[in-house]
Amino acid sequence: MTRITGNPHLIKKINKSLVLDMIKSQGPLSRAEISQRSGLNKGTVSSLVKELMDEELVYEIGQGESSGGRRPVLLLFNEKAGYAIGIDLGVHYIIGVLTDLQGNIIKEKQTKFPQKDYSTVLTLIKETINELIALMPESRYGLIGIGLGVPGIVDKEGRLLFAPNLGWKDIPLKQDLESLFHVPVIIDNEANAGAYGEKRKGAGQSSYNIIYISAGMGIGVGFILNGELYRGTNGFSGESGHMIIEVDGLPCRCGSIGCWELYASEQALLEGAKPILSDEVSLEKLIELAESKRQEITSLFGRIGNYLGIGINNLINTFNPEQVIIGNRLSMAKQWIFPAIQQVIAQRTLPYHRTNVDIQFSNLSIYSTALGISFFVIEDFLKKGERIEVFL
């Protein structure tokens, strides 16, 4: 292991983070095992473990097996030391989850909203968070932070610059929530959060190059490249829903024409169903009709799958990923859209690129974004050198 030299306080902080992450991801471990795997001497490990135990982030669970001599005391990460809230803000819905420090969902809350004005939606977000806080068990650190995945462009300061499907521009969402709840708030693009949720808890845990397709009312894309979330120069990557697939196509809310999401999203599905059905349509209603084998509805799903496949083909040919994961609400219609996607990839994707790529649907279903943004909050909390107790 490379020896780190420099500021002693910084070195200690790095070593402490290393020990905590090792116990969190590989525990139960003994102090001797941590020393052996990390390259840190036993005295340093014992000192850092004592600090982590004093902070109630680590605890002893008893003795392990011995190869001779005293049986070692084993250590585990205390996932109940605090809780995070992750919010997936969709175009017409809010999904909120309360998670422990391992990202396990403790409670959830879902809300739908017809109106998109900011004040109305902010009130609903506030109500969702308050309901989850009311259900939160007691712990050392209480609520450690709140994360929101949003369908739009977010700058590095967490300001929502543009959300075309909500009709929002330059929204101080982070500032507003921090003033309401007095805990750290992280705002990120929902597809970035979804990609990270899949990497940490979903279908992408063993992959290093992942393209996550968030197929909802719009389309967002998150990229995990070489094991890391790719954000681009200004943090604006992933707006692949606005890649042009029809040169003289339909006008988009973003100001362009022919964007991918106009043809391959839940909104495109609903628009396509209007001439077929006289009553109000929803994804759930269309799935119900497809299950009853109504031909024009299954054909409509197939058309959406075909357009999804065209965009996925472009991304595979460009990035050569090992895995493509399709998530968000359209993933509920897998059985009707996946065959069309597979056909497009088989016919149009470069043979060298499609040979080893694994295309699958999210096993987190609609929770990828909420879980991913919760992981951002958890990791931000655990990286901090000094922690304060928060009781909410």
Question: In tens digits, what is the pLDDT along the chain, a chain of 392 residues?
Answer: 445 556 778 888 889 999 999 999 998 999 999 999 988 999 999 999 999 999 999 999 876 565 655 778 999 999 999 999 999 999 999 999 999 999 999 999 999 998 889 999 999 999 999 999 999 999 999 999 999 999 999 988 888 999 999 999 999 999 999 999 999 999 999 999 999 999 999 999 999 999 999 999 999 999 999 999 999 988 889 899 999 999 999 999 999 999 999 999 999 999 999 998 877 889 999 999 999 989 999 999 999 999 999 999 999 999 999 999 999 999 999 999 999 999 999 999 999 999 999 999 999 989 999 999 999 999 999 987 544 343 33
Backbone φ and ψ for 259, nearest 5 degrees, come out as -70, 150
**Do 234 and 336 belong to one domain?**
yes
Domain count, the chain: 3
Instruction: For residue 51, give the CATH number of its domain.
Output: 1.10.10.10
**Do 17 and 51 belong to one domain?**
yes
**Do 294 and 168 belong to one domain?**
no
**Do 19 and 106 belong to one domain?**
no
Tell me, yes or no, whether 391 lies in a domain. no
Pairwise CA distance, residues 216 & 193, whole Å: 14
Nearest to 47 by CA among 36, 35, 39: 35
The answer to whether the beta carbons of residues 348 and 112 sit under 8 Å apart is no
pTM, entire model: 0.90
**Do 126 and 226 belong to one domain?**
no
Tell me, yes or no, whether 199 lies in a domain. no
Residue ending a domain, choose from 77, 101, 119: 77
**Do 174 and 189 belong to one domain?**
yes
In 10 A of CB 83, how many CB atoms? 28
Tell me, yes or no, whether 392 lies in a domain. no
Residue ending a domain, choose from 17, 50, 77: 77
The answer to whether the beta carbons of residues 111 and 124 sit under 8 Å apart is yes
**Do 101 and 232 belong to one domain?**
no
Tell me, yes or no, whether 327 lies in a domain. yes
Sign (positive or negative) of CA dihedral 18, 23, 25, 26:
positive
Enclosing domain of residue 16:
8-77
